[in-house]
Structure 1
Amino acid sequence: MKLSIQHHTTHSYERAVSFSDHALFLRPLDSHLRHVVRFEVATTPASQQRWLRDAYGNLVLRCNFGLLESQQLSFNTSIVIEVGEDNPFDFILESYATAYPLSYREPDLTALRPYVNAQAPKGAGRVLDWFYQAVPSPMQHVDVVQFLSDLNAAVARDINYVRRDEEGIQDPDTTLALRTGSCRDMAVLFIAITRQLGFAARFCSGYLYDPPVAGEDTHVFNRAVGSMHAWAEIYLPGAGWKGFDPTNGILANGFFIPCAVSHDPKAVDPIQGSYFANASVASTMDVSLEIEGMDQ
């Protein structure tokens, strides 16, 4: 299947300002099931652009605006990508990794250390209390995939989705207290729980295509349609990194299009940069996203 992604972000300022380099984590990651046919970013003001690959293997586009000043900063991204069907359950785990609790072995453990942290980070001291009451008989699960799927579904059930375009991520305890959060917040909550339970977990930012129901203005499964998406990936020996989407309570399939992964969500904010002014400047941001299937 070929998809068209049109992603537009515009910052408007009350007076002209200048800009630092901006780093864009918007290009989808290629794989055996994904191939980027076209990726273009037009900016206002115009920018010089260069590519780099970061420490996680993400492709990052750096935009340099020089000394130009403007009251508007916009990124108009146009992507065409081919995606293949992906059965999220089509894998075979290593024999030692089929049941919970799971213990990683070398050499995987050396590579996974940045993603494994059993100590509760600041702002995530209450997540296991919620886990033990939200997931029925959690320690009695045998099948590790069912164990993770139950947790994934519990987050989707207990946390109401709200779109938040402002920067920053709620800490997991706040998300649980409010019982609301964006997809970023729910992914971070899921990661905080799974790491404390001994899993290697990482944050994934990207796009999710949700085909509309024929003849209706509704979608099949995505509560966060119309904005970039975020989910978690868990490393399962024998299967590799497998995506779990706690916003929608499902496992990631071929419609999930990752653009960036990291152990730290802040490292892969989709658009990163600053503006410069002599005094504070009021600003607004407008974001639009359309993902559509294309005729072959």
Structure 2
Amino acid sequence: MPLLRVRHLTEYSYRQPVSFGEHRIMMRPRESFDQRLVEARLTVVPEPRELRWLHDVFGNSVAIAQFDRRATALTVESEVVLHHAPLAQAQVDVEDYARLFPFTYSSEDMPDLLRSIERQHHDPGRVVDNWARAFVRDDGATDTVGLLTDIATRIKHDFTYVARHEKGTQTPIETLDKRQGTCRDFAVLMIEAVRALGFAARFISGYVYNPSRETGNLGGGNTHAWVRIFLPGSGWVEFDPTNGIIGNRGLIRVAVARDPYQAIPLSGTWAGFPRSFLGMRVEVDVSAATGPLPLPDQGAVNSRIAGTSRKSHRC
């Protein structure tokens, strides 16, 4: 099980001191059999008046920070060391009744999967439906994993990845029309496509590990987004349409959600003069770890705990 280190830094700058409202921070990776936290540290400047943790409706770890001082900058830094166990496509095992598409989820699973099957975007012209149906064979012998793999790899090969730091996501129809988008646009397109076919799918936000900076996966240097689809026999299985990854190889989960707006890494408000905001700086680095996190600067320990501004960021 490889040992990885993740560093995620976000810094907001302002012309003059501003005040900060409540902020939600979702940077702590989820713990499971395939990824286990060894060490985690959340650092924030200025020091919040209060910092508390909670689990949201999906079981994601969320830090809530409240501030009582003004500042010209807000810095949030998450540092994590974790064990990560890659799962390859060949290890995806599907129950016999679900090996061929179409199939119906069991009566035990269906009540809990319904909201993840429900469509989130209007498609009056059935544009997404028709695009998804084109992957289904006419002779009734469509392999389930092969179908989902074809959708993910078609997005990777036929669509152009374009990084965008502004908040918001294109609709699936816009992505199909433009043939380009961010990782979150591709994830939303795949989610809507497989939901149109009756699959339960969820949006995942996290990090992608690039062993090679030159030939590695797209989406590095920022947070990344992909899809989880429920398959009887294997449960929730990762599909990354940006990189054509099937399984969790190189993918570190932070947030699981039904819709992208529920998985924003940083969100909150600030109050000040209208043109106070100067900009945002984001740094994300995922690398192989050889030991524990370095000790923090002792002079800053008490003044570094959690926060952000009303902007958010994903790839």
Q: Same fold (TM over 0.5)?
A: yes
Q: Secondary structure at the match of 1:21?
A: strand
TM-score by length of 1: 0.91
**Pairing 1:181-200 to 2, within 5 Å after superposition:** 181-200=181-200
Q: Quickly say closer, same or farther: Cα 1:144–1:22, change in 2 above 3 A.
A: same
Q: Distance in 1 between matches of 2:203 and 2:233?
A: 20
How many residue pairs were aligned?
288
Instruction: Answer yes or no: is the 8 Å Cα contact 1:20–1:274 preserved in 2.
Output: yes
**1:139 Cα deviation (Å)?**
7.2
Alpha-carbon displacement from aligned partner over 1:46-88 (angstroms, at most 9, x marks no partner): 12321101111111111221x2111211111111111123233
TM-score by length of 2: 0.85
Paired position in structure 2 for 1:96: 97
Paired position in structure 1 for 2:29: 28
Paired position in structure 2 for 1:16: 17
Q: Secondary structure at the match of 2:90?
A: coil
146-155 vs 11-20, which moves further? 11-20
Q: Secondary structure at the match of 1:193?
A: helix
- Aligned partner letter, 1:54: D
Q: Secondary structure at the match of 2:100?
A: coil
Q: Distance in 2 between matches of 1:14 and 1:102?
A: 58
Q: Distance in 2 between matches of 1:270 and 1:142?
A: 37
267-276 vs 145-154, which moves further? 267-276
Q: Distance in 1 between matches of 2:204 and 2:184?
A: 9
Q: Are 1:264 and 2:259 matched, yes or no?
A: yes
Q: Distance in 1 between matches of 2:190 and 2:138?
A: 15
Percent identity between the two aligned chains: 34
Paired position in structure 1 for 2:306: none
Q: Distance in 1 between matches of 2:156 and 2:41?
A: 34
- Aligned partner letter, 1:205: S
**1:226 Cα deviation (Å)?**
1.2
**1:251 Cα deviation (Å)?**
0.7
Instruction: Answer yes or no: is the 8 Å Cα contact 1:123–1:174 preserved in 2.
Output: no
Alpha-carbon displacement from aligned partner over 1:205-253 (angstroms, at most 9, x marks no partner): 11111211xxxx5133x11121111100100111100010000112132
Structure 1 runs not aligned, ≥5 long: none
Q: Distance in 2 between matches of 1:141 and 1:204?
A: 30
Of 39, 53, 56, the match for 1:54: 56
Q: Distance in 2 between matches of 1:81 and 1:199?
A: 31
Instruction: Answer yes or no: is the 8 Å Cα contact 2:132–2:196 preserved in 1.
Output: no
Q: Distance in 2 between matches of 1:38 and 1:96?
A: 41
Q: Quickly say closer, same or farther: Cα 1:59–1:120, change in 2 above 3 A.
A: closer
Instruction: Answer yes or no: is the 8 Å Cα contact 2:170–2:185 preserved in 1.
Output: yes
Q: Distance in 2 between matches of 1:236 and 1:162?
A: 30
**1:137 Cα deviation (Å)?**
4.4
Q: Quickly say closer, same or farther: Cα 1:239–1:139, change in 2 above 3 A.
A: farther
Instruction: Answer yes or no: is the 8 Å Cα contact 2:15–2:276 preserved in 1.
Output: yes
Paired position in structure 1 for 2:299: none
Instruction: Answer yes or no: is the 8 Å Cα contact 1:50–1:61 preserved in 2.
Output: yes
Q: Secondary structure at the match of 1:20?
A: strand
Alpha-carbon displacement from aligned partner over 1:117-155 (angstroms, at most 9, x marks no partner): 2x572368522333455x484775521000100011111
